[in-house]
Chain A
């Protein structure tokens, strides 16, 4: 069974430019998470989806970040415009349902210069 797939693995952009990350969760997993992880720190939740509905986006900086999960499968996370402080690893995870074990992708390492 394929795991959570994220792309790209690495992205370097100049500040003020837009960037998008893509996530394909494990087949059949209804819950999808986007986390942000700074170096040496634990992941911090940005948004959680149950199917196509965003049920927890309280930590998402909505002035510049947006996310969507059309059809309740793949998801994209966008930043526009990117700032230097957005440099981090963006992790996608999925689980069968709310509160179940989460499985992570390899992450996208974003560097904003």
Chain B
């Protein structure tokens, strides 16, 4: 059983469209991180959320942490080809220090 479930697994959209990807779990996390990974590179940290209900914005990306700290979402407005990549969520469970990753959402933005 995967601790963090990401959906959708694959997403292909046209440039300019909006999208949301999800990261869900039945466990509570003390913090949750979102990464973007391009082919041949390591994951690059985008944001960390730590407070239930927290919303963070990074240009056209909006990240939300669920009130119960069990889930998170990433919304991209007006997607661009440069947003293409593998989006990974990773969480540190409450009471633990282990950083566990979901399987990722592979996003393709078509010009």
Contact = CB atoms under 8 A, between A and B. Distances in A.
Interface residues of A, number: 26
Interface string A80-113: 0000000000010101001101111111010000
Contacts of B30: 99
Contacts of B48: 101
Contacts, number: 57
A45 B100 contact: yes
Contact of A43 (B40, B41, B98, B101): B101
Contacts of A44: 101
A56 B31 CA distance: 19
Contacts of B35: 104
Contacts of A42: 6, 88, 90, 101-104
A103 B46 CA distance: 11
